[in-house]
Amino acid sequence: MREAFFLTCWLVLLWLAISGVYKPVILLLGIASVMLVLWLSLRMKVVGEEHAPAIFGWRLPVFWVWTLVEIVRSNLHVARLTFSPEKISPRIVTTDVPFRTSVAKVVYGNTCTLTPGTVTLMLTRDKLVAHALDQTSSETLTSGRLARKVLWLEGSPEPEK
Protein backbone atom coordinates (compact mmCIF):
# COMPACT_ATOMS: atom_id res chain seq x y z
CA MET A 1 0.00 0.00 0.00
CA ARG A 2 2.91 2.31 0.84
CA GLU A 3 4.28 1.82 -2.67
CA ALA A 4 0.90 2.63 -4.23
CA PHE A 5 0.85 5.88 -2.26
CA PHE A 6 4.34 6.86 -3.43
CA LEU A 7 3.45 5.94 -7.01
CA THR A 8 0.41 8.24 -6.82
CA CYS A 9 2.54 11.10 -5.48
CA TRP A 10 5.08 10.66 -8.29
CA LEU A 11 2.38 10.49 -10.94
CA VAL A 12 0.69 13.65 -9.63
CA LEU A 13 4.02 15.52 -9.55
CA LEU A 14 4.89 14.33 -13.05
CA TRP A 15 1.51 15.37 -14.39
CA LEU A 16 1.70 18.82 -12.77
CA ALA A 17 5.22 19.31 -14.14
CA ILE A 18 4.46 18.28 -17.69
CA SER A 19 1.01 19.80 -18.08
CA GLY A 20 1.60 23.47 -17.29
CA VAL A 21 -2.13 24.22 -17.77
CA TYR A 22 -4.08 24.41 -14.52
CA LYS A 23 -7.75 24.88 -15.43
CA PRO A 24 -10.49 22.88 -13.66
CA VAL A 25 -11.40 20.69 -16.65
CA ILE A 26 -7.77 19.88 -17.44
CA LEU A 27 -7.06 19.16 -13.76
CA LEU A 28 -10.00 16.74 -13.76
CA LEU A 29 -8.54 14.96 -16.77
CA GLY A 30 -5.20 14.82 -14.91
CA ILE A 31 -6.81 13.18 -11.88
CA ALA A 32 -8.55 10.71 -14.17
CA SER A 33 -5.32 9.78 -15.94
CA VAL A 34 -3.43 9.35 -12.66
CA MET A 35 -6.18 7.04 -11.40
CA LEU A 36 -6.17 5.09 -14.67
CA VAL A 37 -2.41 4.54 -14.53
CA LEU A 38 -2.62 3.55 -10.85
CA TRP A 39 -5.37 1.03 -11.60
CA LEU A 40 -3.44 -0.38 -14.55
CA SER A 41 -0.26 -0.76 -12.45
CA LEU A 42 -2.19 -2.48 -9.65
CA ARG A 43 -3.84 -4.77 -12.20
CA MET A 44 -0.42 -5.62 -13.70
CA LYS A 45 0.81 -6.36 -10.15
CA VAL A 46 4.00 -4.36 -10.60
CA VAL A 47 3.50 -2.01 -7.65
CA GLY A 48 5.96 -2.93 -4.92
CA GLU A 49 6.97 -6.09 -6.76
CA GLU A 50 10.06 -4.53 -8.23
CA HIS A 51 10.91 -2.45 -5.25
CA ALA A 52 14.51 -2.55 -4.13
CA PRO A 53 15.01 0.23 -1.58
CA ALA A 54 18.76 0.65 -2.10
CA ILE A 55 18.29 1.21 -5.83
CA PHE A 56 16.22 4.31 -5.20
CA GLY A 57 18.51 5.89 -2.62
CA TRP A 58 21.41 8.31 -2.84
CA ARG A 59 23.50 5.69 -4.59
CA LEU A 60 21.52 6.06 -7.82
CA PRO A 61 22.79 9.56 -8.82
CA VAL A 62 26.36 8.49 -8.04
CA PHE A 63 25.86 5.41 -10.20
CA TRP A 64 24.49 7.58 -13.01
CA VAL A 65 27.54 9.85 -12.95
CA TRP A 66 29.81 6.79 -13.02
CA THR A 67 27.80 5.38 -15.94
CA LEU A 68 28.07 8.72 -17.75
CA VAL A 69 31.88 8.61 -17.50
CA GLU A 70 31.84 5.00 -18.74
CA ILE A 71 29.57 5.99 -21.65
CA VAL A 72 31.90 8.80 -22.71
CA ARG A 73 34.96 6.54 -22.51
CA SER A 74 33.45 3.67 -24.47
CA ASN A 75 31.99 6.09 -27.03
CA LEU A 76 35.43 7.51 -27.74
CA HIS A 77 36.73 3.97 -28.16
CA VAL A 78 33.96 2.92 -30.55
CA ALA A 79 34.34 6.21 -32.47
CA ARG A 80 38.02 5.38 -33.01
CA LEU A 81 37.07 1.89 -34.23
CA THR A 82 34.53 3.40 -36.65
CA PHE A 83 37.36 4.94 -38.64
CA SER A 84 39.36 1.73 -38.76
CA PRO A 85 36.74 -1.03 -39.03
CA GLU A 86 39.40 -3.60 -39.93
CA LYS A 87 40.66 -3.41 -36.34
CA ILE A 88 37.52 -4.81 -34.74
CA SER A 89 37.49 -8.35 -33.42
CA PRO A 90 33.90 -9.10 -32.40
CA ARG A 91 33.46 -11.72 -29.71
CA ILE A 92 30.85 -13.34 -27.50
CA VAL A 93 31.39 -12.85 -23.77
CA THR A 94 29.65 -14.79 -20.98
CA THR A 95 29.70 -13.50 -17.40
CA ASP A 96 28.06 -14.41 -14.11
CA VAL A 97 25.22 -12.34 -12.71
CA PRO A 98 25.86 -12.28 -8.95
CA PHE A 99 22.91 -10.09 -7.89
CA ARG A 100 20.06 -10.85 -5.50
CA THR A 101 17.32 -8.64 -6.91
CA SER A 102 15.92 -8.73 -10.42
CA VAL A 103 16.14 -4.92 -10.63
CA ALA A 104 19.92 -5.13 -10.22
CA LYS A 105 20.11 -7.79 -12.93
CA VAL A 106 18.18 -5.60 -15.34
CA VAL A 107 20.32 -2.58 -14.43
CA TYR A 108 23.39 -4.70 -15.17
CA GLY A 109 22.07 -5.78 -18.58
CA ASN A 110 20.90 -2.31 -19.53
CA THR A 111 24.12 -0.59 -18.48
CA CYS A 112 26.04 -3.15 -20.50
CA THR A 113 23.99 -2.27 -23.59
CA LEU A 114 24.14 1.44 -22.83
CA THR A 115 27.94 1.53 -23.00
CA PRO A 116 28.67 1.19 -26.73
CA GLY A 117 30.99 -1.68 -27.52
CA THR A 118 28.98 -4.23 -25.55
CA VAL A 119 25.42 -5.37 -26.25
CA THR A 120 23.47 -7.73 -24.00
CA LEU A 121 22.26 -10.65 -26.09
CA MET A 122 20.75 -12.72 -23.34
CA LEU A 123 20.15 -12.35 -19.62
CA THR A 124 19.14 -15.40 -17.62
CA ARG A 125 18.83 -16.07 -13.90
CA ASP A 126 22.58 -16.45 -13.36
CA LYS A 127 24.46 -15.38 -16.47
CA LEU A 128 24.71 -12.78 -19.15
CA VAL A 129 25.71 -13.35 -22.78
CA ALA A 130 27.01 -10.25 -24.53
CA HIS A 131 28.45 -9.30 -27.90
CA ALA A 132 31.56 -7.11 -27.64
CA LEU A 133 33.24 -5.18 -30.42
CA ASP A 134 36.82 -5.91 -29.32
CA GLN A 135 39.09 -6.85 -26.42
CA THR A 136 39.03 -3.39 -24.80
CA SER A 137 35.24 -3.19 -24.88
CA SER A 138 34.74 -6.65 -23.42
CA GLU A 139 37.03 -5.86 -20.48
CA THR A 140 34.28 -3.82 -18.77
CA LEU A 141 32.44 -7.12 -18.35
CA THR A 142 35.24 -9.67 -18.00
CA SER A 143 37.15 -7.66 -15.39
CA GLY A 144 33.96 -7.37 -13.31
CA ARG A 145 34.24 -3.58 -13.09
CA LEU A 146 30.58 -3.06 -14.00
CA ALA A 147 29.41 -5.98 -11.85
CA ARG A 148 31.18 -4.54 -8.77
CA LYS A 149 29.56 -1.17 -9.35
CA VAL A 150 26.06 -2.67 -9.65
CA LEU A 151 26.71 -4.74 -6.50
CA TRP A 152 27.56 -1.51 -4.72
CA LEU A 153 24.38 0.08 -6.10
CA GLU A 154 22.37 -2.87 -4.84
CA GLY A 155 23.99 -2.55 -1.43
CA SER A 156 25.39 -6.08 -1.45
CA PRO A 157 28.77 -6.83 0.11
CA GLU A 158 31.68 -7.17 -2.31
CA PRO A 159 32.43 -10.78 -3.25
CA GLU A 160 35.67 -12.24 -1.84
CA LYS A 161 38.36 -12.81 -4.39
Told to check if 18 binds another protein by CB under 8 A, we report yes
Q: Which of 106, 136, 144, 152 binds another protein (CB under 8 A)?
A: 106
Out of 102, 143, 145, 159, point to the residue binding another protein (CB under 8 A): 102
d(CA 90, CA 47): 40
State yes or no: residue 37 binds another protein (CB under 8 A): no
Distance CA 12, CA 61 (A): 22
Paired residues of 159 in beta bridges: none
Residue 95 three-state SS: strand
Counting every residue written for the chain, the total comes to 161
User: How many CB atoms are closer than 10 A to CB 107?
Assistant: 23
Least Å from the CB of residue 64 to another protein:
9
Which chain residues interact with another protein by CB under 8 A?
Answer: 17-18, 20, 68, 71-72, 75, 78-79, 81-83, 85, 88-92, 94, 102, 105-106, 109-111, 113-117, 119-125, 129, 131, 133, 137
